[in-house]
Amino acid sequence: MTRRRQQGNVLALVMLGLLAAGVLATIAYGSYYQIARGTTDTVNRANASALLTQAAYTLAAEAAVAGDIDSDGVTEPIAGSVVLNDGWEVPTSSGAPKTDTWGSKIQYCAWDNGSVNASGGRLTGANPASVSSLQFALISAGPDKVFNTSCAQVRLSYLAGSPVVANGDDGVRTMTVAQLNQGVGGTYYYGDAVASVSALPLTDAPAGKMRIVKDTQLAYIWNGSSWLPANAGAWLLLTDAAVAASCTSYPAGVLARDNADNLYMCTANGARPWKRVSP
């Protein structure tokens, strides 16, 4: 009787052990499933973030190539064409990614900043523009494929000095005037080259932006209120000695030579003549 009772106890313990093992297996599988789902979600979000960043850099590079189309001193983002919510789809002409990780169209918000701040395919921007004015934003609808964030909300939160809003599970990337001017991490701001000093825009942004003047190959820097030459020691080629009669548009210290290899120095910016410094 005792032996049977012991066998029954052992059998019960074995059955309890198997049941416990089954419960542990279910928990382990569930935990693994949750971890696997979490990892997939993390990877998807990382991919979505990378796509938005790639799109932002591509659109910035394309805007830099197009340049300041309305000549108000601020480079415009490329124009949208197909409307999406209160913005547009990423233009088909752009090399930027146009859909997010979950297959939804990326929303493109473009603003026209500067003294001329209205143009087709762009929202009305800041006038005057500052280095922190939003140039464009990109919005991903996220895993639920529903846009919970609008262009207007992004701009309002930015103007309020708050972190850029991204409602729901949306993703947002933004680019400012300063960021667009310096591309993807440059130290200097570069504007399009112009034909001559007189072709430099009357205002520009940000302070510190550099533009090359083609006829003299001199670099000029916008100091926030006027253009100043970057290097007063630059060389000029005066093809006609008569040109050396005036220093107009050139600062004191600029060196020049004519076709006869005579060397001149500009002694003052204005009507005073160049000073000949070589025989």
Q: Give dist(CA 131, CA 267) in Å, integer.
A: 36
pLDDT tens, position by position, 220-246 = 887 778 887 775 555 566 655 555 567
Model confidence at 144: pLDDT above 50: yes
- When pLDDT is cut at 50, 70 and 90, the band that residue 104 belongs to is very high
Take residue 226 and report the two structure tokens written for it: 């006027």
Write down the domain spans for the chain.
44-181, 188-230, 232-279
pLDDT of residue 256: 73
pLDDT of residue 92: 92
Q: Give dist(CA 198, CA 215) in Å, integer.
A: 11
Q: Is it true that the peptide bond before 91 is cis, omega within 30 degrees of 0?
A: no
Q: Could you give the dihedral angle defined by the CA atoms of residues 180, 186, 189 and 194, in that order, rounded to the nearest 10 degrees?
A: -90
Q: Give dist(CA 165, CA 245) in Å, integer.
A: 60
Give the range among 63-67, 108-112, 251-255 with minimum mean pLDDT. Answer: 251-255
Model confidence at 82: pLDDT above 90: yes
Give mean pLDDT, residues 166-188: 74
Q: Give dist(CA 267, CA 202) in Å, integer.
A: 26
Contact 125, 112 (CB under 8 A): yes
CATH class assigned to 232-279: alpha beta
Residues forming beta bridges with residue 221, ordered by sequence position: 210, 228
pLDDT tens, position by position, 9-41 = 544 443 434 333 333 332 333 333 233 445 677
Model confidence at 131: pLDDT above 60: yes
Give mean pLDDT, residues 110-120: 90
Q: Measuring CA to CA, which residue among 232, 196, 191, 228 is closest to residue 214?
A: 196
pLDDT tens, position by position, 181-220 = 765 444 456 677 888 888 888 877 666 778 888 877 778 8
The chain-wide mean pLDDT, for the chain, equals 75
